[in-house]
Amino acid sequence: MQNDVEKLVEMLSKVFSNTKIKEIMTRPPIVVTQETKIKYVKDIMRIKGISGMPVIAPGFKLVGIISIEDIIRVFENGSFDDRVNKWMTPDPVYLKEDEMLLHFLQVNEDLKYGRYPVVNNDHKVVGVVTKLDILSWMFKKLGYIYVHDERREKALNKKYMSTITGELLDKEGVDFSYKIDYDSVEMIGAAATRLKKFLKEKKIQEDIIRKISIATYEAEANVVIHSSSTGNVYCWIKQDHIKVLIEDFGKGIEDLEQAMKEGFTTAPDNIKEKGFGAGMGLPNMKRFSDRMTIVSSIGKGVKVEILYYIKEK
Amino acid sequence: MKLEKIIKDLNLRIISAGSDDIEIINGNIGDLLSEVMRTAKPDSVWITYQTHQNIIAVAEVVGIKAIIIPYGLHYSEDTAEKACEHGIYLLESDESAFAVSGKLYGLIS
């Protein structure tokens, strides 16, 4: 098992080797001073569930590392009233926060330590990195990269598989499509108002049209303000539901969870002055839809799919 | 409440007009577009300090029939053009947003 994990880490790490250590490390680090008694170190490890800690001098300067193995040695040969400096490993191997993941792998290949302190340019301890940190970070990354790639293939084949219903939506059989190829905020709303007009012609219920228009406006605003790319709005009208897909090929959303929070925005000031960037875009899309999903990947774009159920009158 | 009566009672200047005989049943105040979309009801009047052309698209998707800006502000030309296109009323007041909203509330509710 341990070997499998090692292999997996090694294999996958190559994909992400240009990631910086600081993106992966655990912070803030749990640290102890040289003067701390071993009995307290033992308690900290037990309570925090960790097996080692950097040892620091005043100013968070790295002076050593103390691990569970050291505690065992104290147990065999020493006293729990001894202080850390007597048992720690001085001048431990450390990583710098701006070093790449690849560097960690090279270091780790030779040394195979469980954990490495991470320091900044001033040699201050700012984090700790373990193999587990890398593994969990990678799984998180892999999760949405995989999803995205699958979508992309479908999209290239003019088909899009719904993330909500799982059906294949044919982009050639789409009922409405509109290209967002403008980057001026003044143009925001062109797609949404066009779609509204189309839905009116199709005699869709007023309250559904209103919800679709608002959600589409918000998604369109996001494409124009945030994506730095072009986008498309598609709409399919089915017997019992209406589906809208707004896609772009731009920057992607860095932290979806944060973006979903009301009030969170990354809009620049000149756009905020115009009343955009209230941090309500995604929450509004959710509010004005029956179902909504977002698929996003850094550098590859965002796809927002919203679904409305047509109820019998 | 007929929009016509609101315009008359509040002494508003019409910059751009939509269709006749519009019934107003609600109002909204706000400068954050998303907030307005979140809270505004259909068939509303909207008091705002925003004067750029995007307010028309916002009004259109929400179902706002008329926009009022308080004294000292003016709509940009392309805003008026867009308003014509979508049949949204653009109105200017010589009073503060506070005064306009007070009178409007008294009229509608």
pLDDT tens across A257-276, in order? 788 888 888 888 888 888 88
Provide the pLDDT confidence category of residue A9 given band limits of 50, 70 and 90. low
More confident residue, A107 or A90: A90
Which of A105, A118, A114, A104 minimizes the C-alpha distance to A25?
A118
- pLDDT per residue as tens digits for the range A169-226: 677 778 999 999 988 888 999 999 999 999 999 999 999 999 999 999 999 999 999 9
Measured between CB atoms, which of A193, A276, A278 is closest to B61? A193
* Single-letter amino acid, residue B17: A
Cβ pairs bridging A and B (under 8 Å):
72
- Please, what is the average pLDDT of chain A? 84
Q: Which residues contact A274 (CB under 8 A, 6 or more apart)?
A: A185, B33, B50, B52, B54
Give the total number of structural domains in chain B: 1
Least confidently predicted of A46-50, A125-129, A152-156, A298-302: A152-156
CB pair distance less than 8 Å for B34 and A281: yes
Q: Which three-class secondary structure state does DSSP give residue A268?
A: coil
Provide the pLDDT confidence category of residue A142 given band limits of 50, 70 and 90. low
Please check whether residue A28 is in contact with residue A52, taking contact to mean a CB–CB distance below 8 angstroms.
no
Q: Which three-class secondary structure state does DSSP give residue B87?
A: coil
Q: CA B90 to CA A285: how far, in whole Å?
A: 27
Q: CA B59 to CA A185: how far, in whole Å?
A: 16
Residue A146, pLDDT score = 46
Q: Which residues of A touch B80 (CB under 8 A)?
A: none
Mean pLDDT for the stretch of residues A280-285: 89
| Percent of chain A residues topping a pLDDT of 90 | 44
Residue A145, pLDDT score = 46
Chain B residues within 8 angstroms (CB to CB) of chain A: 31-35, 37-38, 42, 48, 50, 52-58, 60-63, 78, 86
Please give the helix or strand (H or E) that residue B89 lies within, else none. Answer: strand B89-92
| Residue-wise burial string across B63-100, b where 16 or more C-beta atoms lie within 10 A, e elsewhere | bbbbbbbbeeeebeeebbebbeebebbbbbbebebeeb
Q: Which residues of A touch B44 (CB under 8 A)?
A: none
CB pair distance less than 8 Å for B57 and A190: yes
Task: Provide the residue range defining the domain that includes B41.
Answer: 3-108
Within 10 angstroms of residue A192's Cβ, the number of other Cβ atoms is 27
CB pair distance less than 8 Å for B54 and A189: yes
More confident residue, A82 or A151: A82
Residue A295, pLDDT score = 85
Please check whether residue A224 is in contact with residue A292, taking contact to mean a CB–CB distance below 8 angstroms.
no
CB pair distance less than 8 Å for A278 and B34: yes
Measured between CB atoms, which of A210, A213, A280 is closest to B34? A280
CB pair distance less than 8 Å for B34 and A185: no
Distance from CA of B57 to the nearest CA of A (A): 5
Q: Which residues of A touch B35 (CB under 8 A)?
A: 278, 280
For residue B11, pLDDT over 70 is answered with yes
Mutate to test the interface with B, among A216, A261, A280 (most CBs of B within 10 A): A280
- pLDDT per residue as tens digits for the range B39-69: 999 999 999 999 999 999 999 999 999 999 9
Q: Which residues of A touch B88 (CB under 8 A)?
A: none
CB pair distance less than 8 Å for B37 and A281: no
ipTM, interface predicted TM-score of the complex: 0.81
Signed CA dihedral, A35, A41, A47, A51: sign only: positive
Domains and CATH numbers, chain A: 2-136 (3.10.580.10), 157-309 (3.30.565.10)
Within 10 angstroms of residue A301's Cβ, the number of other Cβ atoms is 24
Q: Which residues of B touch A279 (CB under 8 A)?
A: 34
Q: CA A146 to CA B97: how far, in whole Å?
A: 52
**Searching chain A, which residue's CA lies closest to the CA of residue B60?**
A193
- pLDDT per residue as tens digits for the range A44-101: 998 888 889 999 999 899 999 999 999 999 999 999 999 999 999 999 999 999 988 8
Distance from CA of A214 to the nearest CA of B (A): 6
Q: Which residues of B touch A194 (CB under 8 A)?
A: none
Alpha carbon B108 to chain centroid, angstroms: 14
- Please, what is the average pLDDT of chain B? 94
For residue B2, pLDDT over 80 is answered with yes
3-state helix, strand, coil in chain B (%, to 5): 40, 20, 35
